[in-house]
Amino acid sequence: MADSPQGTEKARGRVKVETGAKRVRLYLEHQLVADTLRPLLVWESPYYPTYYVPAKDVHAELKPTGASEHSPSRGDAQVHDVLVGSAVAAGKARTIPESPLPELREAVRFDFDAFDWFEEDEPIYTHPRDPYSRIDVLASSRHVRAELDGVILADSSHSMILFETGLPPRYYVPITALNQDILRPSDTVTHCPYKGAAGYWSVEIGDKLREDLIWFYRNPFPEVQKITGMAAVYNEKVDIYVDGVLQERPKSKF
């Protein structure tokens, strides 16, 4: 991700650090672990940031485990158990007091999946929202057809195209435009910090089951309500034609 001139961000190697403007709180079993007005957004990978919390804003007890972890860019982290009330999150916090990144020396990294996180008063899932990512959902009359092994998966002239920073366009079509004969239910559920909880269908063609090729959001977040009642097929894994033109299969983290 390119560096931004905004904020107090500094880049060293592949890690970018920036002070956020949102109030961030996290809980363990409904008990407050930390509450800060100056969270640090840290891009440990190029795809999305994670939160580090200033140590002075941590309410829970951090108990060193004696274990450590090394990062070439962030330094040697000390692993801690998180204790608040009767709740314990074993080994779910890291401190890096001698980090080559000065901003991290007095901050705590909490494992995201171990806690309930809030930005202001709204819950967030999977990872913090990237302030430099944008999503646009646009209605389109372009004809979209998805195929796999010569079998049509979806066919519609009424789609919503979702454009998300850093990802290929996603073509959402009405669920009724899917080939119902080959859809098989899936138990998979994933969470997107921008769109909400996604359910999936697998596809059965002949004697082959292709798992989780199609996804949908039953109750998407308000910002992307236009994709309610619609579904998308992985561009990376099937052939998609737009107005009769075969699209190149993109390469992405998916």
Domain holding 64: CATH number?
Answer: 2.170.150.40
Helix, strand, coil: what percent of the chain each, to 5? 10, 55, 35
pLDDT of residue 212: 97
Which pLDDT tens digit goes with each residue over 15-44? 899 999 999 999 999 999 999 999 999 999
- For residue 36, what are the CA distances in angstroms to 24, 87, 114, 124, 140? 5, 21, 18, 15, 42
pLDDT of residue 24: 98
Number of H helices and E strands in the chain, helices first, is 0, 23
Domain that holds residue 64: 10-124
pLDDT beneath 50: ranges in the chain: 1-12
Residue 3 forms part of a structural domain? no
In angstroms, the CA 118 to CA 146 distance is 38
pLDDT of residue 6: 37
Nearest to 129 by CA among 104, 89, 82, 164: 164
Residue 250 forms part of a structural domain? no
85 lies in the same domain as 153: no
Phi, psi angle pair for 103, to nearest 5°: -60, -25
**The overall pTM is greater than 0.85:** no
pLDDT of residue 254: 62
Residue 72 forms part of a structural domain? yes
72 lies in the same domain as 19: yes
pLDDT of residue 83: 98
pLDDT of residue 3: 36
Query: Starting from the edge strand earliest in sequence, which strands make up the sheet with 50-54, in order?
Result: 10-12, 15-19, 40-43, 50-54, 107-110, 87-95, 75-84, 61-71
Residue 99 forms part of a structural domain? yes
